[in-house]
Homo-oligomer: A and B are copies of this chain.
Amino acid sequence: KSLRGLGMELRCRCIETESRQIRRHVKEVEIIPANSHCEESEIIATLKITGLKVCLDPEAPWVKKAIEWWMSSRRS
């Protein structure tokens, strides 16, 4: 096996996921579909202010709703 890209992780990045509803604290979110190194999709949110990264559960109903919210968000 060869490396496909620099900085690519060779295993899952999330150990556990945040269960609390933290939608308002999220600055941006990264979705990593399942791939040859990790058999489940992963969602990594970067928090406002602290910049901390936390993993979210792709199957949690609040996360699915939050993704829709973030995608459709428009500053008014």
| Chain A residues near B (Cβ < 8 Å) | 4-6, 26-36, 38-41, 43, 48-49, 51, 58-59, 64, 67, 69-75
Copies in the complex: 2
Closest Cβ–Cβ distance, residue A64 to chain B (whole Å): 7
Report 20 cross-chain contacts, Cβ distance below 8 Å, ordered by A residue: A5-B51, A6-B51, A27-B33, A28-B31, A28-B33, A30-B30, A31-B70, A31-B71, A33-B71, A33-B73, A34-B74, A35-B75, A40-B73, A41-B72, A41-B73, A43-B71, A58-B71, A64-B71, A67-B67, A67-B71
> Which applies to chain A's interface (DSSP): helix, strand, loop or mixed?
mixed
Would you call A72 and B48 a contact (CB within 8 A)? no
